[in-house]
Structure 1
């Protein structure tokens, strides 16, 4: 799974390039996120605005990526589409992450 990574000061914004985060790409997503998080200087914002579908494997990969955070790092989510947001709410995984409507909202919180 391809990830677009953009540094914004101490914040690293990550966008999956595919519209689906499912069993087919979950392992690759988790591996790429590990590399991104290890290289990130601080907070990571996962921009899911381009993801229209997530299954349990994709959700598990997002949650598993949190384990790669170092002390002092955090991972926020931004731009959850309707179906993706429902999955996070139904599974109560929305309690694990700070969720922002847009990346800009997450970045403002850093300032």
Structure 2
């Protein structure tokens, strides 16, 4: 469900390979996320470019992932139009850091505008 890469600067990049995050896959997603980030204390960027559908269970799984970060931000990027719409309608776009793509996320610093998606 996710590919894991760590950059030379210590940023963990999780690339979701699932097309859907819904009731059927939410528990698996949360387990994979916890396992991938358990030993990592730095930044985490999640590439959602493959996800074409997310329902309320999927959104709940994303919030659970954020909570598992222990106060750190979970940065999301490459959201498809359908997923972006879910985040904006539920105002979760104000909770997560959103980036247009992985490159933008990796070049991000706190003085820049994050909502470039």
What is the TM-score normalised by the length of structure 2? 0.86
Kindly state the Cα deviation for residue 39 of structure 1 after the two structures are TM-superposed. 2.0
| Equivalent residue number for residue 84 of structure 2 | 85
Listed as ranges, the gaps of 5+ residues in structure 2 are: 110-117
What secondary structure is seen at the aligned counterpart in 2 of 1:50? coil
What is the TM-score normalised by the length of structure 1? 0.91
CA contact 2:16–2:49 (8 Å) conserved in 1 = no
How many residue pairs match? The answer is 108
Q: CA RMSD in A?
A: 1.2
More helix by share: 1
* Distance across 2 between alignment mates of 1:104 and 1:41: 20
Q: Relative contact order, CA 8 A, sep 6+: which one is greater?
A: 1
Listed as ranges, the gaps of 5+ residues in structure 1 are: none
